[in-house]
Structure 1
Amino acid sequence: MMHKSIKISFLLILTGVLTLTSCGTSRDFTSEEFQDLEAILQDRYFKIEAEFARPFVTNALAQIGNSSLFAPGDNASQINITGDSNYLKFEGDTVSADLPYFGERQMGGGYSDDDGIVFIGQPKDLETIKAKDENKYIIRFDIQKETESFQIRLTFYPNHKATIHVTSSHRNQISYRGNLEDVELSEK
């Protein structure tokens, strides 16, 4: 009887701790953090190193997830891609990306060797939005690789977290979460 009450007490305490830590308030960032972010983005020499891919979950992707083909900890809606060189990089007026793609292709891709979201070039319709009341910056642009067009939306936060949202003319949408890195002068 006592053993059972200890288990119940432990579970209640564990649930309480997890609830308190997961429901933390979104903190307001300092003006220094926001200015640091602003300086990195205005310089236009930065890199987002992606850690997680978040594909658009379709029935086919859900079936793959249900058949246990994902690595432990991954599922149809979030895949850990840490450790690989998965990035989107701004270098002045040139943008390059090499990101894995998980999802469905809607149109034929030709005979390219690139299975992922891979491009390099000058962005079209580049727009930067400062949403200080929401503690973030948004950069939008379009870019083309051969016959495929990409609409890219980047969201940056002062803690150097970033998201990449990709809408393609040939594939289902996908987003990535990762970290913003300032490209060092030696890399410029």
Structure 2
Amino acid sequence: MEVKLSKPIKMRCLVILLLSFVVVSCGTSREATAEENERLEQLLQDKYFEFDLQFARPLPTNSLTQLANAGLFRPGDNASQINLQGSSAVFKFEGDTVTADLPFFGERQFGGGFNTDTGIKFEGIPKDLKITKDEKRNNYQVNFNIKEGSESYQVNLTIYPSLKGTININSSQRFPMRYDGSVNVLEVPKKE
């Protein structure tokens, strides 16, 4: 015996099935343990850490899309995500000093020229350093400004208790870039 369902019943079943899938897939995120939160707070207090960067996420402009369509990116990369694993990208805090040597894949608005670095490079003491905890999203925001030569940068880090994070860099001469990765704790030098 075969049961035939009317169209409205089939539609209701489909809607219920889709809603249940959405509810299951949008489950609550894992809460950080007290140990993870404490580790992150100590890391930001000491300010000795570096990012192990996995992806660069340039602003996908028309020019970058044209380069991707021409097949000039490596397999798996595209105009909005470039794999950095195995690269020599550096971003680290060592106490009061921050160092960056990051590849740049976006568009430069002006500046630069021959015999200049094409990546984002800076080293020095950040200005206007502000570290805040976002209780609602359970992460820390690290914001600062820094200047290297004629280029100035606004840097925003987001670090989670799982030690995953993002770096957003706005430049006075380039389109914005975002980097995703994980945070590694560096050894704090012993005071003499």
TM > 0.5:
yes
- Trace 1:36-185 onto structure 2 (pairs within 5 A): 36-185=39-188
Q: Which amino acid aligns with 1:103?
A: G
> How far apart, in 1, do the equivalents of 2:168 and 2:47 lie?
19
Name the TM-score, length of structure 1 as normaliser: 0.84
RMSD, aligned α-carbons: 2.3
Cα contact 2:46–2:188 (8 A) shared by 1: no
Contact map agreement 2:155 2:169 (CA 8 A) in 1: yes
Post-superposition, which runs of at least 4 consecutive aligned residues in structure 1 deviate over 3 A? 19-25, 110-113, 185-188
Match for residue 30 of structure 1? Answer: 33
Please state how far the C-alpha of 1:106 moved relative to its aligned partner.
0.3
SS in 2 for 1:181: strand
For this pair of structures, how many residues does the alignment match?
A: 171
8 Å Cα contact 2:51/2:182 also seen in 1: yes
Give the whole-Å Cα distance in 1 for the aligned partners of 2:26 and 2:79: 24
Cα deviation, 1:41-86, whole Å, max 9, x if unaligned, reads 1101111121100000110011111112111111110000111121
Higher helix share: 1
Structure 2 stretches lacking a partner, 5+ long:
1-21
1:109-145 Cα deviation digits (max 9, x unpaired): 1445311111101100110111122110000000001
Q: TM-score, structure 2 length as denominator?
A: 0.82
The whole-number CA distance in structure 1 between the counterparts of 2:146 and 2:190 is: 23
Unaligned runs of 5+ in 1: 1-18
Q: Percent identity?
A: 52
Contact persistence 2:98–2:124 (CA under 8 A): yes
